[in-house]
A and B are shown apart, each in its own frame.
Chain A
Amino acid sequence: MTLVLKNVSYSFSNKGNENNKVISHLTMQVNQGEFVSLIGKSGTGKSTILKLITGLLKQDEGEILVNGKCVSLGDVGYMPQRDLLLPWRSIIDNIMIASEFQKELKITREEARKWLTRVGLKEYENAFPNQLSGGMRQRAAFLRALLTDKDLLLLDEPFGALDALTKKEMQAWLLSLWQELNKTIVFITHDLEEACFLSDRILLLQPNKIIEEIKVDLPRPRMPKLFHSIELVKMRCELENRITNETD
């Protein structure tokens, strides 16, 4: 699985006007099994990029290819910031919802149950979303994206609304799961530490539409104690400088 964006531009209104472009001539590539984070100030078009990759938005120009094929709705797994679990469906029915839209997707309840057990939600199979805590809901929402059975997962600030402790737990949890699954992940975050801790590469979107690439060569497997290491703190400071310098 590789994801390729070639020369992609997008504007919300006044199509074609260079000044209205949210994304301008963007080119990037994500390789099989890679964990790539997108960071940048608000309004630099991070969420828009994800929506373009899902096919929810159509680019004005350029190409978006997944495995060499033009992307269309239903090709990738998408997890937005809000968990968006349907309150009238039990957790298991929520995480299996994609199989109701995609005929070729065969996921049995047995498999779904195994997954719930694996992420520690076994007892909540028949519970309703409002009975779960924030962290549990995010895990269920992640499973829902995972059970679309796509190689590419797009996660739009999945832990943005969680408290600091739960967030740390969820980051370690996500990382361990990703290492086993061989999925490709594109991850949006505002949290620079989080980006350093999780990613292979970080793409920094600047307001002037330039993209900087930062390679994170911290060794894997990464453990939560890495948060206190000098390398990570250094990298975090450097990222922060790059973000603020550009706007001064």
Chain B
Amino acid sequence: MKQIKRWVRTYSLFILFASILFFLIEWLVKKEMIPAFIIPAPTSVIAMIIENWKPLIFEHLSATMLEFSIGFLISVIGGILLAVWMFFSKTMEKIVYPAVLVSQMMPIIALSPIFVLWFGYTIWSKVAVTVFISFFPIVVGAYDGLKSGDKDYIELLRSMGATRWHTFIKLNIPMALPSFFSGLKLATVYALVGATIGEWLGASEGLGYYSRRMSGNLNAEGVFAAITILTIVGILLFAFISAIEKKALFWKKY
């Protein structure tokens, strides 16, 4: 009950704003002040989703989620391993850290056709884009977090006979978690965007593919239907990671 109250207090203004926008657009479109192919009426977007919910959810959303899940998993596992490796090896850090940075400077849209060239129109070209775009915040979050270990704490544990492995497990990892979770939250959102971009470039299913096909047909309702679903999924994923973060960092509330 208390939580609901707090939730309402935090988001009530936003919800009010969104509702006003919803009805304003609805009214403008119905009065034909905005043509429906520029911005569709929110109610017709909802109608579109309800009408096509089966293919939207079971065909397109499930395809996008599969790409997202594989890509995100690779990013998380690979990103953590790389961050740990950099943490233990100065040489690795000097090689990899700049490389990871440079990879982020490359315009992903321009690079993506290369992935299609390498992986064809299989799921792997979309996974590649997803990994490429979500890898960075995980590596940086995990690595910076590991680096943030306070020297005084490490000295204290070493004075008790702790080995480097001990301090890594009992100190560096817990201390890295806040920064790691910040990176992870960004990465979930990025990964979803990555999967969608991947589908734009060539796919036969998925919400990115669907929105592109609808846009080709000047079906604005279809485009917005896909966007709406992607947004809701993004919010849910973000909330899910935030909930895990809250559990893992329970001591922060004290």
Contact = CB atoms under 8 A, between A and B. Distances in A.
Contact of A87 (B157, B158, B166, B254): B254
Interface in A36-91: 51, 54-56, 73-74, 76, 78, 80, 82, 84, 86-88
25 contacts: A51-B155, A55-B159, A56-B158, A56-B159, A73-B160, A73-B161, A74-B161, A78-B156, A78-B160, A80-B156, A84-B153, A87-B252, A88-B249, A88-B251, A97-B157, A97-B160, A97-B170, A98-B160, A100-B166, A101-B160, A101-B161, A101-B163, A128-B251, A128-B254, A129-B254
Contacts of A55: 159
A174 to B, nearest CB: 19
Contact of A130 (B158, B171, B251): B251
B156 A73 contact: no
Interface of B: 152-153, 155-163, 166, 170-171, 174, 249-252, 254
Interface residues of A, number: 24
A107 B62 CA distance: 53
A102 B163 CA distance: 10
Say whether chain B's binding surface is mostly helix, strand, loop, or mixed: helix
Contact of A73 (B152, B153, B158): B158
Nearest to B174: A88
B227 to A, nearest CB: 40
Say whether chain A's binding surface is mostly helix, strand, loop, or mixed: loop
Given A86-B171, A100-B166, A78 B254 contact: no
A20 interface: no
A166 interface: no
Given A56-B155, A80-B155, A128-B254, A101 B174 contact: no
A54 B166 contact: no
Nearest to B169: A100
